[in-house]
Amino acid sequence: MVTEIMEIRKRNQLKKLNALVKEIIEVRQYLKYFEGLNLPDYQAMISQVPLGVEPGC
pLDDT at 32: 86
- Average pLDDT score, the chain: 86
Domain boundaries, the chain: 1-34
Q: Which amino acid is at 13?
A: Q
Region 20-27: what's the mean pLDDT?
A: 94
- What pLDDT is stored for residue 55 in this prediction? 66
pLDDT of 57 above 70: no
- Please state, in angstroms and rounded to a whole number, the distance separating the CA atoms of residues 25 and 45: 29
Burial (CB count within 10 angstroms: exposed 0-12, middle 13-18, buried 19+), residue 5: exposed
In the predicted structure, residue 36 carries a pLDDT above the cut 80: no
